[in-house]
A = this chain, B = another copy of it.
Amino acid sequence: MTGTASRPTLEAVAARAGVSRATASRVVNGGDGVREPLVERVRRAVEELGYVPNQAARSLVTRRHDAVAVVIAEPETRVFADPFFALQLRGISKELTAHDSQLVLLLTEGRDDHVRVGRYLAGGHVDGALVFSLHLDDPLPGLIHGAGVPTVFGGRPGWGDGPRDAVPTVYVDCDNRGGARDAVRHLVGLGRTRIAHITGPLDQTSAADRLDGFRDVMVDVDPALIAEGDFTPAGGERAMRELLERRPDVDAVFAANDLSAAGALRVLRERGRRVPDDVAVIGFDDMLPVAEQTDPPLTTVRQDIEEIGRLMARLLLRRLDRAADEGPVGAPSSVVLPTTLVRRASA
């Protein structure tokens, strides 16, 4: 049943159109330098036979695959027990599709998998890679770099902006620091003075950057007003409890993401603090199912997740195209997307 009749080859198309294989190939690949009547004949033959090029044969000679790998580390997947994951992938997928490229998904967990992924990438099965690697100590970036595969990172990689083997790393991220500043300034504008921050896991650059943004505004802040969370609701609860204990007079909280904000909100309600009257709360991400469903609805810093994915793909594809055209290797630069403050009821 499954393709007993083997699929037609370019040879067959050529024969049917009465041309050589070379000409048929030219037509299939755009038809430049072939006279119109022949183009037409070949096109028709393709149509009639239902010809689809054999990608394997093509890759074998061109060494292109029209495929890029998307690497997502397991810890991320856990964090992505939220729409992040789907949205980024959607953005990436759209862009790749428009470019006739396939998306090979690699989810990893644990060290062994890193090796596997490294080997896969080094194996030259894909033209490039999009990597989500948010942890400082992640060995993945190193492996990937060693594999010599064009790569764009999602989120600023952990090793800082300094040169790494003089190879510029390209990444797409949102303006975590600026967004955090906006949030805190908004709280200040509300007249709040005892503003606390619930951080994310500080080994992730996004969390670190948001903390930096908080500090930009709250210079010389009382350290007791900073509690470490982990981007989860439970972590948010824990951190909020700590904060209330250390500084019962707290009148605003900037949480590093919506999930921890939701946790904080719950503790505040439990303790009888009114939001936003007694304590104003701001989150980060604008993760709709969460931010809109909290009580009260969450004021938060929005980042366009899907756009990040789309841009990552676009950057990578552009780089690949350039490599193909042997054009000027314009230093590919990272992109930092702006954030916007979304006002709802909590602050």
Flag whether A15 is at the interface (Cβ < 8 A). no
The CA-CA distance from A77 to B86 in the complex, in Å, is 7
Q: Tell me if B104 and A104 are in contact (CB < 8 A).
A: yes
The CA-CA distance from A74 to B130 in the complex, in Å, is 21
Copies in the complex: 2
The CA-CA distance from A24 to B233 in the complex, in Å, is 54
Q: Tell me if A149 and B90 are in contact (CB < 8 A).
A: no
Q: Which residue of B lies closest to A290 (CB)?
A: B289
Pick out which of these stretches binds chain B: A55-63, A185-193, A275-283. Answer: A55-63
Q: Tell me if A233 and B122 are in contact (CB < 8 A).
A: no
The CA-CA distance from A7 to B289 in the complex, in Å, is 47
A233 with B103: in contact, given A60-B57, A125-B55, A295-B295 (CB under 8 Å)?
A: no
Which residues from B are CB-within-8-Å of A53?
A: 123
Tell me the minimal C-beta distance from A58 to chain B in angstroms. Answer: 8
Tell me the minimal C-beta distance from A345 to chain B in angstroms. Answer: 13
Q: Which residue of B lies closest to A289 (CB)?
A: B81
Main secondary structure of the interface of A (DSSP, over half): mixed
The CA-CA distance from A119 to B80 in the complex, in Å, is 31
Flag whether A344 is at the interface (Cβ < 8 A). no
Tell me the minimal C-beta distance from A7 to chain B in angstroms. Answer: 6
Categorize the interface residue count of chain A: 35 or more
Q: Tell me if A233 and B293 are in contact (CB < 8 A).
A: yes
For A289, give its contact among B94, B116, B233 (CB under 8 Å).
Answer: B233
Which residues from B are CB-within-8-Å of A83?
A: 81-82
The CA-CA distance from A209 to B54 in the complex, in Å, is 42
The CA-CA distance from A182 to B290 in the complex, in Å, is 28
The CA-CA distance from A87 to B55 in the complex, in Å, is 30
The CA-CA distance from A83 to B89 in the complex, in Å, is 13
Flag A83-111 by CB within 8 Å of B: 1 or 0 each.
10111011001100100001111110000
A124 with B54: in contact, given A2-B150, A83-B81, A148-B2 (CB under 8 Å)?
A: yes
The CA-CA distance from A1 to B90 in the complex, in Å, is 31
A86 with B80: in contact, given A59-B56, A259-B289 (CB under 8 Å)?
A: yes
For the complex of A and B, list the 4 residue pairs with the smallest distance between their C-beta atoms, beginning with the closest.
A56-B59, A52-B123, A93-B107, A56-B60
Can you list 5 A-B pairs, Cβ within 8 angstroms, ordered by A?
A3-B124, A89-B105, A102-B104, A103-B106, A289-B290
Q: List the interface of chain A (C-beta within 8 A of B).
A: 1-3, 7, 50, 52-57, 59-60, 65, 67, 70, 77, 80-83, 85-87, 89-90, 93-94, 97, 102-107, 113, 116, 119, 122-125, 148-150, 167, 233, 259, 262, 266, 288-290, 292-293, 295, 323
